[in-house]
Structure formats: structure tokens, C-alpha cells
């Protein structure tokens, strides 16, 4: 009996493993096909100036589209793209689509910032800065309209290399945001060493904010920190009215989250921008 059970157990795991491998294989194929066809789907989520309710920028968020039309979330394929050595290609395509979006708005007289996520592996790539420069040039997008989001861990991983690249990008006029702030290695000295412009408070802090003094205090402290360092602050994952009022009372100026708008396809985002912008430079 024990022997039987043992065999069943092995069988159970191998089936699960097989399904997992199959799924991974399918995802790899989809990823390769999509990249070959330059057919990544990039959604854009508005960032809102809390006081005016106007859009002040967009974050680009990548998706993969299955044949059925269903969308695959980035958590499912970003690390796979990194493992397969495809992240530079993916990143470059996202960058192009994002700059094209910014350009399209500019052609309508709306100057908004587009913020693009960059993985640590991309940042380590020798040609990354060139890639960004070529992209801006190709789309004739002013560099101050492009923002790059990096995580704390990306900053720590290859400190000197990254420091140098970010300095070059900052010299070009590209702004740098630190993403998911508070969830990584929080050595505060990093905030002074890197040429950062924006601090994005991680959504976990925003979502806990209403659940006690303690959590409110954390957000409050991050707001004060950003102000002391002269960094612009963006609260991400804002879902409720009361979160908005609390952020307002803390004098946090920019919010991003389902409360205002979900990430949307570029056509919808384009319309959103025209409807919700002040119609002047907001960069
Ligand atoms: P992130 O950069 O922190 O992006 C914010 C994530 O929060 C997005 O998930 C967004 O859809 C989601 N979000 C926005 N508002 C709300 C809200 O009110 N509530 C909640 N619960 N979530 C909200 P998404 O699009 O699934 O992206 C997940 C992560 O994937 C991103 O986190 C980023 O780290 C990564 N990612 C997305 N696009 C790219 C890309 O082009 N390149 C790279 N390297 N990473 C990307
Ligand atoms: Mg981000
Ligand atoms: Mg984030
Ligand atoms: Mg994240």
C-alpha cells in the first residue's frame, strides 16, 4: 500500500510539473512570436494631479495578447523574458510604443510624461542608454517627457554601473522614478546618490493606509522624506475616495490607481488624455 501511495505521489507531482512546463513553453512561444511581430500590447494608466483631477502623465504597462484575445499580465512573463534573454528586446519595443504614444499626444498639443518600467537586467545592458537616446530621436520626443521607473533592488544590484547610466540619462533630460518604494532595500543613502526625480509609494502602503495610525504614519513619513529630498511623489494603487482625501491631507500631489482609471489601451488612453488634460504643458 505504501508503495502504491508513493507511486501515486510521484505521478501527481510529475503531472503538475508537466502542466507547468507546457504552460511555460506556450508562453515562451507566444512571447517569441509577439516580439518577432513587434506586436506587444502596451496599456497606459493615467497619473492624476489630485488637486485638479487632471491627468499629468501615464505609466506604460506591457501585456501579451493570446490568440483568443485574452491578455497575459506582466508578472507572468517578465521574469521569463529575463531568463530567455529577451528582456532587452521587449524593453526596447515597449519604449518605442511609449514614445510613439507621447508623440501622438504632443501632436495634439498635449504634452504629458510617459513613464516606462525598466528591469534591472535592461539597466545593466551596455547599450541601454543608446537605446533610449535612439528611441527619443526616432519619435522626436523631448527627453523630459520620458520617465524611467526602476526599483530599489535594481539600484542596489550593480551600484556603480547603474549609477553611471542613470547619470547619463539624467543628463539627457530623462527623469528617473523609483518604483514600489518602501518594499526593497531601503538604504536611504541611495536616494541621494542616484539622480532621482520621482518616488512612487508602493501600493501596499496606500492600501493599508486606512487600517490604522501606524500605516498612515508610514505614508506620512515617505511624503516628508520625498519633500526633504525635493522628489516628486506619486501614490500608486489608489482605489478609494478616502485614500484620496488622506493623500490630499498629506499634500501628496499625484495619484495613480483604479479610483481614477485602470490601465487602458493606447486609443482609450489617448482619448482620456484629451478629455482630462489642462491643454497646456504639464511636464
Ligand atoms: P508596477 O510598475 O508597480 O505597476 C503598477 C501595477 O499596479 C500595474 O500592474 C497596475 O495595473 C497595477 N495597478 C494600478 N492601479 C492599481 C490599483 O488601484 N489597485 C491595484 N491592486 N493595482 C493597481 P501590472 O500592469 O500587472 O504590472 C505589474 C508589474 O509588471 C509592474 O508593477 C512592473 O513591475 C511590471 N511591468 C509592467 N510593464 C512592464 C514593462 O514594460 N517592463 C518591465 N520590465 N516591467 C513591467
Ligand atoms: Mg511601475
Ligand atoms: Mg509600482
Ligand atoms: Mg511592482
- C-alpha cell recorded at residue 107: 501632436
Residue in 173, 194, 174 with CA at minimum distance from that of residue 185: 194
**SS3 state at 9:** helix
Give ipTM to 2 decimals. 0.97
Q: How confident is the model at residue 11 (pLDDT cuts 50, 70, 90)?
A: low
Q: What is the pLDDT of residues 157-196, one digit of tens each?
A: 878 889 999 999 999 999 999 999 988 766 677 888 899 9
pTM: 0.93
User: Which pLDDT band holds residue 6 (cuts at 50, 70, 90)?
Assistant: low
- Ligand 1 pocket test: which of 62, 63, 94, 117 has the largest number of ligand atoms within 8 Å of its C-beta? 117
Q: Which of 40, 61, 89 to mutate to test the pocket of ligand 1 (most atoms within 8 A of CB)?
A: 61
Q: Write out pLDDT tens, residues 24-68.
A: 999 999 999 999 999 999 999 999 999 999 999 999 999 999 999
The contacts of residue 185 (CB under 8 Å, 6+ apart) are 152, 153, 156
Query: Is the distance from CB of 46 to CB of 270 less than 8 angstroms?
Result: no
87 Cα nearest atom in ligand 1: 44
Work out the number of other CB atoms within 10 angstroms of the CB of residue 255.
Answer: 25
Contact of 136 with 169, CB cutoff 8 Å: no
Residue linked to cell 543628463: 171
pLDDT at 209 exceeding the cut of 90:
no
Rounded CA gap, 75 and 7, in Å?
34
Burial 111-133 (b: 16+ CB within 10 A, else e): bbbbbbbbbbbbbebeebbebbb
Q: Closest Cα to residue 51, out of 245, 223, 219?
A: 245
| Distances in whole angstroms, Cα of residue 165 to Cα of each of 47, 59, 123, 174, 218 | 26, 21, 8, 11, 31
Whether 179 is in the pocket of ligand 1, judged by its Cβ within 6 Å, is yes
C-alpha cell at 104: 501622438
How is residue 73 annotated by DSSP? P
Ligand 1 atom at minimal distance to the Cα of residue 258: 18
Separation of alpha carbons 269 and 107, rounded Å? 15
Where does the chain show beta strands of DSSP type E?
41-49, 55-65, 71-72, 113-117, 146-151, 175-181, 198-201, 232-236, 254-256
CA angle 172, 177, 183 (to 5 degrees): 150
Q: Is the CB of 49 under 6 A from ligand 1?
A: no
- Cross-strand pairs, 113: 57
Structure confidence by residue, pLDDT tens digits, 260-270? 999 999 999 99
What does the block give as the cell for 255?
495619484
- Beta-sheet strands, E only, within 66-121: 71-72, 113-117
For residues 223 and 221, what is the distance between their CA atoms, to the nearest angstrom? 5
Amino acid at each position: 500500500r505504501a508503495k502504491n501511495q508513493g507511486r501515486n505521489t510521484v505521478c501527481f507531482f510529475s503531472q503538475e510539473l508537466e502542466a507547468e512546463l507546457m504552460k511555460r513553453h506556450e508562453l515562451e512561444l507566444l512571447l517569441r512570436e509577439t516580439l518577432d511581430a513587434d506586436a506587444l500590447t502596451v496599456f497606459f494608466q493615467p497619473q492624476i494631479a489630485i488637486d485638479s483631477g487632471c491627468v499629468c502623465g501615464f505609466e506604460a504597462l506591457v501585456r501579451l495578447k493570446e490568440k483568443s484575445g485574452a491578455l497575459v499580465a506582466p508578472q507572468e512573463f517578465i521574469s521569463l523574458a529575463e531568463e530567455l534573454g529577451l528582456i532587452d528586446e521587449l524593453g526596447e519595443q515597449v519604449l518605442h510604443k511609449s514614445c510613439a504614444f507621447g508623440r501622438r499626444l504632443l501632436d495634439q498639443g498635449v504634452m504629458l510624461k510617459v513613464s516606462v518600467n525598466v528591469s534591472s537586467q535592461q539597466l545593466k545592458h551596455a547599450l541601454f542608454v543608446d537605446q533610449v537616446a535612439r528611441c527619443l530621436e526616432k519619435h522626436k520626443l523631448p527627453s523630459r517627457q520620458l520617465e524611467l521607473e526602476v526599483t530599489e533592488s535594481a539600484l542596489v544590484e550593480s551600484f556603480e554601473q547603474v549609477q553611471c547610466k542613470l547619470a547619463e540619462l539624467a543628463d539627457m533630460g530623462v527623469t528617473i522614478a523609483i518604483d514600489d518604494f518602501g518594499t526593497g532595500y531601503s538604504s536611504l543613502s541611495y536616494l541621494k546618490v542616484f539622480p532621482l526625480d520621482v518616488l512612487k509609494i508602493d501600493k501596499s502602503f496606500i492600501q493599508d493606509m486606512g487600517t490604522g495610525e501606524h500605516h498612515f504614519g508610514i505614508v506620512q513619513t515617505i511624503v516628508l522624506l520625498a519633500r526633504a529630498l525635493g522628489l516628486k511623489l506619486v501614490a500608486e494603487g489608489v482605489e478609494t475616495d478616502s485614500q484620496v482625501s488622506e493623500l490630499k491631507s498629506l499634500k501628496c500631489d499625484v495619484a495613480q490607481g483604479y479610483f481614477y482609471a485602470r490601465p487602458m489601451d493606447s486609443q482609450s488612453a489617448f482619448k482620456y488624455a484629451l478629455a482630462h488634460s489642462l491643454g497646456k504643458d504639464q511636464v
